[in-house]
Structure 1
Amino acid sequence: MKLFPPQEKLSIYEQGFDGADLLGRREAGQRLSELLEKVEDPVVVAVDGPWGSGKSHFLKRWVGAHRLENGGTATTIYFDAFANDFLDDPLIALTGAIGERLPAGKDQDHWKTAKTVAYKLARPLLRLGAAAATAGATEIAGPVLDAVIEAGGKEAEKAAEDFWRREDGRKAAMLKFQECLAQLTEAGAPLIVVIDELDRCRPDYALSVLEVIKHFFAVPRVHFVMGVNLDALEHIVRARYGIGVNAHDYLKRFISLSMQLPDWVGGANSVRAQIRYFESAASAMGVDQKLAGEVARHLKLAAGPAAISLRDVEKILTRLVLLPKAKEISGFYHGWQTVIISHVLFQAVRPELFQAALRGSLSLADIDSFYGITNAMIDSSAKGSGEYDHVAFIIRGVWQFALTGGNEPAQDKDNFSRSFDSFGLRSGASILPQVQRDYFGLFQVND
């Protein structure tokens, strides 16, 4: 048994989607490759999605798939912006990351000039020395130390400050940097930089990345692909420039196109990516098969209305593993299963609903909202209408009995009372306290 879903060890640049396209995103990668190979104008593509939607996984696989599977000729670079935001200016780190991917020979010779220019252009430099001193032997330290050594350390800092006071010097250096960049793509093969985790960076650094891309890398056949939550990035813009700024229009200055990863897997019988991931990870973690099947039914109903992400699925799986006697739950009366599973989902996805259940303030409206349950879905007299959903009917009825203590009229009230014991003698008022005491009173997961 595993407590957390297994995380695959991915060799960036050496693996693509072949044999590992669980979420059905290879085709999206192919279309992205086709676009960036053909377009000459510099393009910035935002792969947009909420946190936990699988953007990083997609980008890490696509970096390798572009050449290995999609016939791309571009040099691809993966850059983790969050891992590099200890610098005040991202130009040095980006320049170093590109240099690490270029083959030895003429391209490296051109890029040495670009790295020297980048160091001169980078400002402010106040944190550079400290960053280089504390970075240690990490993979991040390479570009920083390389730039410091090549530029001559403290003497270079003074020279750079003098340089920044001369407007003509800055413009000349920017043109020199772009000239070096253009030499890398003059043979026709594009240069593509993938920037991941931008929306996790501190606001000033995230916006500096956008500015650097716009002003320094606006060169034909040089493209950027950013994994980002555009809503979060708009919050960053407002945090930096004030609540009144039009953040959407501001970002349009920097981002050419946006794309969203497909949320469904398969063709005519497609399922949500969250369900596919849950079923695969549950099997790998040793979750009881029958219990996993019941949870999947809940997820199919709630995934859309509750905006359950792939990361939420991981939280759900960990909580299932922590349940006492988890393998026995699939043999319980169905009412107990339903309430326990709902608690797991609330705890992982909507903690405020879990707390409301503990306080006794959870309402049927909360249940309907979380699962997206409508009156048409639970109208048993219209089972052939296409809107009726039997899973929704069961969940709603079980929760109505549990929340009202069985004192309010409900469809098939007698049947729902017997979903907790054979004779329907269980008091609805005792159900939630017992579930919470027996299954949720010991461990709390730090997500």
Structure 2
Amino acid sequence: MKLFPPQDELNIYEQGFDAADLLGRRDAGQRLSELLEKVEDPVVVAVDGPWGSGKSHFLKRWVGAHRLENGGVATTIYFDAFANDFLDDPLIALTGAIGERLPVGKEQDHWKTAKAVAYKLARPLLRLGAAAATAGATELAGPVIDAVIEAGGKEAEKAAEDFWRREDGRKAAMFKFQECLAQLTDAGAPLIVVIDELDRCRPDYALSVLEVIKHFFAVPKVHFILGVNLDALEHIVRARYGIGVNAADYLKRFISLSMRLPDFTDKTNQVRAQIKYFQKIASDMGIDQKLAGEVTRHLELATAGGVSLRDIEKVLTRLVLIPHNKKISGFYHGWQTIIISHVLLQAVRPDLFKAATTDKLKITEIDAFYGINASMIDREAQKSGVYKHEAYIIRGLWQFALTGGAEPAQDQEHFSRAFDSFGMRDASDILPQVRRDYFGLFQIND
């Protein structure tokens, strides 16, 4: 049995979705490819979703699938913004990442100039100097070379530095950089840069990335895909410019359109991605099949309220840590339900888990976590299609454990027998016993 879910060993660019499309997102990738291959105007697409929704997994597979499976001809680049935010200027890192993906030949020749421009903009104190006549410098446009020719030694360095610092110098550099990009895409395939983990970066770096994309990469057939939580990115904007700024409007300056990954793995919207993921990884980790089946019934209610794929991984690890976890599927159903609920609360809502283990949890909080409303537990309305028997059972068992009573009252005996065959269990001891026997030893540092 494994303690943690196994991670994909993915060879980026060499693998697509192929047989690993567990979450049913290949179709979304194909539509994204079709759009970016057809459009000539520069486009910035935000693949939007909360943390743990599988954006990185999707994007890492998409950069390979674009050519291998979707018939795309564009050169794709995967760039982890969070891994590069120790740098001050994202222009250097992006330019280097693009250069690594370009084939040897004319494309690389065009890109040498772009790299030289980027370097000089980002590192003003190291521009030109005594080596001004080297190949890298001579590729730059006239005014800088003129400044070098007219001055000598340290004066040449100062003259060049002053030029690049002036506004007209930066504009000239931007136009030169764009010219290099245009030469690449005019002569060959489009360029698509995937920038992942942007919302995890330092606020100043994240916003610098957006500014660089807008001002330096606004060239036909050059597109960007951002893996991002737009809500979190809006928080970054407000952290930088003040709480009163309209963050959503600000981001519209940089992002052309957004897309959300599908929540369901099938076209009939019957199976949620989180459920499919849980069932597959639970099997891989050696979790008891019957226990996994019981957890699935809980997740079918809870996932509607926003359980992420990362939350599912936390649930799986906590199931492994439960003492005698393989025996739980043989317990009375009441004990199974309360234990499984504790696992889900511990992984997804630690605040509610703390409330449960300090006798402060309320039945309304259980209702909110599972998305239970009055219609779902109204047995008189079973034929309406709104009633959900699993919701009725979970709610009733928790009501009994919390208060020693059940709603409706005539079902009290039924729920008490879910903990003891004679229905004699003292309800006040249920939660203390669960936390003492199953959750008192290990705490996971996520």
> Is TM > 0.5 for Structure 1 vs Structure 2?
yes
* Deviations, residues 327-367 of structure 1 (Å, cap 9, x unaligned): 00000000000000000000000000000011111011001
Asked whether the equivalents of residues 401 and 416 of structure 1 are also in contact (C-alpha less than 8 Å), the reply is: yes
Contact 2:332 2:420 in 1 (8 A): yes
Which residue of 2 is the match for residue 264 of structure 1? Answer: 264
Partner Cα separation in structure 2 for residue 158 and residue 51 of structure 1: 47
Given the superposition, is the C-alpha separation of residues 157 and 423 from structure 1 closer, same or farther in structure 2, using an over 3 Å criterion?
Answer: farther
1:99 aligns to 2:99 (yes or no):
yes
Deviations 1:268-313 (A, max 9, x none): 36210000000000000000000000000000001112x1000000
**C-alpha distance in structure 2 between counterparts of 1:59 and 1:125, whole Å:** 37
Secondary structure of the corresponding residue to residue 97 of structure 2: helix
> 1:408: how far off?
7.6
More helix by share: 2
For 1:83 and 1:100, the matched residues in 2 are separated by: 17
Q: CA deviation at 1:163?
A: 3.6
1:45 counterpart residue number: 45
TM-aligned CA distance change 1:124 to 1:387, over 3 Å = farther
Equivalent pair of 1:333/1:421 in contact (CA under 8 Å): yes
Q: Using a 3 Å threshold, how does the CA distance of structure 1 residues 65 and 425 change in structure 2: closer, same or farther?
A: same
**Residues 269 and 242 from structure 1, CA distance in 2 versus in 1: closer, same or farther, beyond 3 angstroms?**
closer
Unaligned runs of 5+ in 1: 127-146
In structure 1, what is the Cα distance between the partners aligned to 2:160 and 2:275? Answer: 54
Name the residue aligned to 1:28. Answer: 28
User: Partner residue of 2:309?
Assistant: 310
Deviation (angstroms), 1:189:
1.7
Q: Deviations over 1:241-265 (max 9, x none)?
A: 0000000000000000100000001
1:43-84 CA distance string (max 9 Å, x none): 000000000000000000000000000000100000000000
Q: Which amino acid aligns with 2:412?
A: K
* Contact 1:30–1:70 (8 Å) recurs in 2: yes
**8 Å CA contact retained: 1:397, 1:410:** no
| Partners of 2:205 and 2:380 in 1: CA distance | 58
Native 8 Å contact 1:88 1:123 kept in 2: no
Larger radius of gyration: 2
Contact map agreement 1:400 1:410 (CA 8 A) in 2:
no
CA distance in 2, matches of 1:247, 1:287: 44
Secondary structure of 2:20 counterpart: coil
Query: Offset at 1:121?
Result: 1.4
1:173-322 to 2 correspondences below 5 Å: 173-268=173-268, 270-305=270-305, 307-322=306-321
Contact 1:121 1:160 in 2 (8 A): no
Alpha-carbon deviation of 1:97? 0.2
Q: CA deviation at 1:405?
A: 2.2
Match of 1:387 in 2: 386
Following TM superposition, by how much is the alpha carbon of 1:411 offset from its aligned partner in structure 2, in angstroms? 4.8
State the SS of the aligned residue for 2:18: coil
- Matches of residues 64-75 of structure 1 in structure 2 within 5 Å? 64-75=64-75
Q: Kindly tell me: are residues 210 and 407 of structure 1, through their superposed partners in 2, closer, same or farther at Cα, counting changes over 3 Å?
A: closer
Q: Deviations over 1:126-154 (max 9, x none)?
A: 9xxxxxxxxxxxxxxxxxxxx9xx99xxx
Check the 8 A contact 1:346/1:354 in 2, yes or no: yes
TM-score, normalised via structure 2 length: 0.91
Task: Return structure 1 stretches of 4+ with deviation > 6 angstroms.
Answer: 155-160
Amino acid at match of 2:7: Q
